[in-house]
Structure 1
Amino acid sequence: APDSDDDALDSYLRDRGHREPSEEADETEVADMAQRRESRASRRSTGADDNDDVGDGDVAPLDLYGFPLRALDDAAIKARARCAETASRRSKRWQAYREGKPLPDDLSHEQTRVSRPDGALKTLMRKGVPHDLRPKVWIAASGAASKKTRAPRAYYKRLRSLPVEKAVRDQVDIDLVRTFPENSGYNTEVGRETLRRVLLAYARHNPGTGYCQGMNYVGAFLWLVLRDEEMVFWVMVCLLDDICQPGVHAPDIRGTISEYRVLHGLLATREPRLQRHFEKTETDLVMIASKWLLCFFTESLPPESVARVLDAVFSEGFKVWFRVCLAMLKLNESELLKCDSLPDTMQLLQNSFRRMHDADALMRFAFKRVKRFSRSEIDTHRATVRDVIASEKEEREKMDRERRKIRDEREAAKAAREEEERRARE
């Protein structure tokens, strides 16, 4: 059967305008059944007690990642059922990889890529990797497998034995208990201790960056998918060091600030009316939505939508992140244009991201409704941003020098007056 991406997108856009409960009882019942099947599969995979007699009021159903499914409206239930059906059909196309067909390495590394993925594999990954194959595909496509092979022997084990600053350990320990508190797969002693070791190992691996809040959510989500501690570390290294720009998770998050300026630049050429509105209302997305990048959507989008974004990121690189951001902004443009304050804009975007259960529609919109752009265009924006930031830094330093000069002159004048007064008294 042909893919139903266009139908899925059309259905999603219709549902956005009609969020009232559906009168189609039979369709809702089918969607509810699909949701329950997904929950039961997840509970079995996480070792939870699969008890079909538990009432909806007692235990919330879980998704494939161990997150409770609560307060889903009719549109979300339909979207999840639609995506689950599509994923089941597409899963058959991956059978060759289940049977041992090799996957190429380093698909997502823009700087180190030797060859691009073949078109068929790129399309497959953009349309979604089957849940059971994600560990294998992400480890290969991200470059984690080859990076581990090239690293010194027992590199991860040796990192774990090295000391780390107390401040880093303390912050990691604080964030462990804040991470996905409702997730049944992570929120165990095994899950928290695994993430602790991974985060501290990364801090030792990249001491210039160390640990930054947001990494905890990235690492925890990778753990929920991969369930292999060392490979979580290596995939995280590939994502943060190779795919993301330098400085994204630096102590001053300078890389994050730069990438959001690039995002505003791309928005200006694709949705100029919205960008002008942001400028008029002094809306800087990094101020209200830094989690999109620092947590790589894991604290913003529903889990399956996050996984679908990462499927494409590991195949096509960081530009997918820009596409998804632009897609969500474009989808919400009419509502955003009505927001005249940062809190209103932030709340609208948070709600919209949280409700984006239709991963098929999101990815279709990101790749078909967002105007195309190349890596060279991104690089041009990045170069412009670097120049602007350098100019701003130079201007700040100039102003600092002028302030210091004025301060020194005032202090010298004050000292001269005091000396003159002292002599007068003598």
Structure 2
Amino acid sequence: MKAFKDYQSFRMQCRLNDEDKFEDSIPNCKFEMEQYPAVSGVLCVSEQVFGFLGQSSTDPFWFVAPFREVLLKLSEVNPALVLVKSSNIEFSIKFPGGLSAQNQKRTLLELWKKAADTPISKPLSFLLEQELKERVYPIYVSVDEAYFQKQRLLEEQWEKFFSVRKFGRILIRDKKLVEFVHQGVPDSKRGVLWQVLSGSSNSQMLKEQNYYENLLESHRNLPSLAAEDIDKDVKRSFPQHPYFKSPVGLTKLRNVLLAYSWHNESVGYCQSMNIITALLLLYMDEVEAFFLLSSICEIYMPNYYTRGMLGPTVDVNSFADLIGLELPDVAQHFKKLAVPVAAITMPWFLCLFIGYVPIDINLRILDAFFCEGYNVLFRVGIAIFKVNREYIMKAEDSYSILVLLKNGVTITDEILRIAQEELSHVSIDTVKDNRDIHKVEAIKKIELNARKDKINSLLSSTTFTKEELNEIYDRILNMTHSFDISYEQFSGVMIQFCPFWKDIFEENRYIKDNLWKYFCNGVDKEILSFDELVFGFNLFFKGPLEEKWNVCLQLVNVTKEANISREQLEIVINILISTYNKEIRNHPHTNQFVDNKVKLIIL
């Protein structure tokens, strides 16, 4: 359990997805590097990366390093010596004593050897002047001498920073880095820094080569449920920007969104992903934008862009709690006027504030977001309310507040200062604790709404009553804990509703296969949906006797016009009478119906 908690912290802080298998955590290690004070902490190791989480102070300190990016040297007496190939950084990690630590060091060495022969990734490249002119400059209201002067100053500051820290796919995170990000990032370096800070550059490197290109190629001629929505939305993404008036920009945007819909089919595509991706494409190429979009959807904002929208539902409630703590008078005023906080904040979070604040402020919000985490969105939201507190408190109705916060709020650098300095205590742990409180309730609400929608849909397409559908729903949920029924679960489901199937399945295995195929509408598949199950039940429980008879013939491999053996007929009659004998006994023409069928017996 301790190791699991270490890795969960490591995964969240170092921006890792769930694909990489966790191996071990080694406490009481010490990080040493020239120009850095020694830092104690936990070394976490997975199949493809290792990372260090500092524990010595409240200031942030961590890094993550893919094994393929480093040269590693271990011995029984010396610490691990690490040289980062892409940036020539050298540091050491001292292990605690004892046999356990020695075994862990050997595990570390074995994992590194597996990745040692992998070719080093190509270096990350900053935007060139021509790319800045075509993509970045048009997003600003004005690109004048003041802008260029500020960019030159930021360039100089970051060059000095990199000359000491080095730069590559591995970037040591500490208080100094956070301070530099808060001061501003030059546009030429912004795209690369976003990739490194978010960990998406590592995700790209750890995937198989040409993963994105192969994803597009392998799905090129396949239908996509998301394609129609994507085609509508790409034209609405920064429509006035020259880059997205050109076929090149629109094609890249469409490619990234389509590729992600295939890469993560549980998400597919959701509005607002187009706006985020369009902004990413102004600072990087489509492959890099794809992997950064993946990091946003899967690490920073999980469950945000799914059908149930669990993530934003939880976060707007968490945000309301934080407003109550930070600005109790504003929270009380909202309550008095019945202001729907979700209507205000959900678009902010879904779009990462893109389109809701001036672009220069928005870019700095994203700099901090990728550097520090999703808690930055909460800080900025609270800061907006704080700066506009006076106007909010004067509003006399909810409509006035909605209009103010949508169109009339004051958004200046003061928002960023408050978010970074006065609200620094709103940490990832703070937000996570609030999320955990609201998550259970949100899941219950989403499940209740999904249940209502499902029952109402099946009421109109089957002959079951609402009470019967609710009973089926509950029993299936209790048995499978989901509504996807596998072939292995199918027998248990059928026996649960009709115990007689147990003997039939045991004596005639092929009947189970035929019944599964019938419920799947003749399609060869591994999973049966809840709707398909109910439609199958509808025939057996509610369907006409003649139709049931024909289906039973299919189950025993008898075609409609063929003769039937005595053994096959006995199975069919037993299914009909033993499973649904009440209906058959009460059927006015049962005897005549059965007599007619018996004439088909081969004596």
Normalized against structure 2, the TM-score is what?
Answer: 0.50
Match of 1:171 in 2: 229
Bigger RCO (CA 8 Å, 6+ sep): 1
Deviation string 1:160-188 (CA, Å, 9 cap, x unpaired) is 12436543100000001111111123321
Take 1:220 and 1:397, find their aligned partners in 2: how far apart are those partners? 32
- From the superposition, tell whether residues 298 and 392 of structure 1 become closer, same or farther in structure 2 (CA, over 3 Å): closer
Conserved? CA contact 2:252–2:286, under 8 Å? yes
Deviation at 1:332, TM superposition (A): 1.0
Conserved? CA contact 1:65–1:303, under 8 Å? no
Conserved? CA contact 2:233–2:274, under 8 Å? yes
Conserved? CA contact 1:258–1:382, under 8 Å? yes
Question: Which of 122, 129, 141 matches 2:197?
Answer: 141
Deviation at 1:193, TM superposition (A): 0.6
Deviation string 1:136-182 (CA, Å, 9 cap, x unpaired) is 21121111111111112211111112436543100000001111111
Match of 1:271 in 2: 327
Match of 1:297 in 2: 353
- From the superposition, tell whether residues 408 and 238 of structure 1 become closer, same or farther in structure 2 (CA, over 3 Å): closer
Q: Give the partner amino acid of 1:191.
A: G
Deviation at 1:363, TM superposition (A): 1.5
Deviation at 1:369, TM superposition (A): 3.0
Query: Could you tell which deviates more after superposition, 195-204 or 378-387?
Result: 378-387
Match of 1:22 in 2: none
Question: Which of 123, 138, 147 matches 2:179?
Answer: 123
Match of 1:89 in 2: 153
Match of 1:237 in 2: 294
Take 1:199 and 1:286, find their aligned partners in 2: how far apart are those partners? 26
Conserved? CA contact 1:65–1:225, under 8 Å? no
How many residues end up aligned between the 2 structures? 333
Match of 2:494 in 1: none
- Unaligned 5+ runs, structure 2: 1-127, 460-464, 469-603
Over alpha carbons, which structure has the higher Rg?
Answer: 2
Tell me, what secondary structure is at the counterpart of 2:370? helix
Tell me, what secondary structure is at the counterpart of 2:439? helix
Deviation string 1:275-323 (CA, Å, 9 cap, x unpaired) is 1222222222322342212211112122221111111111111111111
Conserved? CA contact 1:186–1:224, under 8 Å? no
Take 1:278 and 1:289, find their aligned partners in 2: how far apart are those partners? 13
Tell me, what secondary structure is at the counterpart of 2:305? coil
Take 1:128 and 1:68, find their aligned partners in 2: how far apart are those partners? 16
Conserved? CA contact 2:344–2:406, under 8 Å? no
Conserved? CA contact 1:204–1:210, under 8 Å? yes
Kindly report which structure 2 residues correspond to 1:243-322, keeping only aligned pairs within 5 A, or say none: 243-244=300-301, 246-322=302-378
Take 2:132 and 2:429, find their aligned partners in 1: how far apart are those partners? 43
Query: Could you tell which deviates more after superposition, 308-317 or 287-296?
Result: 287-296
Larger strand percent: 2
Conserved? CA contact 1:134–1:225, under 8 Å? yes
- From the superposition, tell whether residues 281 and 103 of structure 1 become closer, same or farther in structure 2 (CA, over 3 Å): farther
Match of 1:379 in 2: 432
Deviation string 1:319-338 (CA, Å, 9 cap, x unpaired) is 11111111111111121223
Question: Which of 333, 343, 355 matches 2:389?
Answer: 333
Q: Give the partner amino acid of 2:344.
A: I
* 1:323 aligned onto 2:374: no
Deviation at 1:399, TM superposition (A): 9.8
Conserved? CA contact 2:195–2:292, under 8 Å? yes
- Unaligned 5+ runs, structure 1: 1-41, 49-62, 71-76, 108-115, 410-426
Conserved? CA contact 1:160–1:201, under 8 Å? yes
Match of 1:67 in 2: 139
Deviation string 1:328-374 (CA, Å, 9 cap, x unpaired) is 11111121223344442222112245x63x4x433212112336223
* 1:364 aligned onto 2:417: yes
Deviation at 1:387, TM superposition (A): 3.1
* 1:202 aligned onto 2:265: no
Please, what is the CA RMSD of the aligned residues? 3.5
- From the superposition, tell whether residues 195 and 341 of structure 1 become closer, same or farther in structure 2 (CA, over 3 Å): farther
Take 1:363 and 1:254, find their aligned partners in 2: how far apart are those partners? 28
Match of 1:58 in 2: none
Deviation string 1:106-165 (CA, Å, 9 cap, x unpaired) is 87xxxxxxxx71221121012211111112211211111111111122111111124365
Normalized against structure 1, the TM-score is what?
Answer: 0.69
Identity among equivalent pairs (%): 25
Take 1:84 and 1:278, find their aligned partners in 2: how far apart are those partners? 43
- From the superposition, tell whether residues 141 and 103 of structure 1 become closer, same or farther in structure 2 (CA, over 3 Å): farther
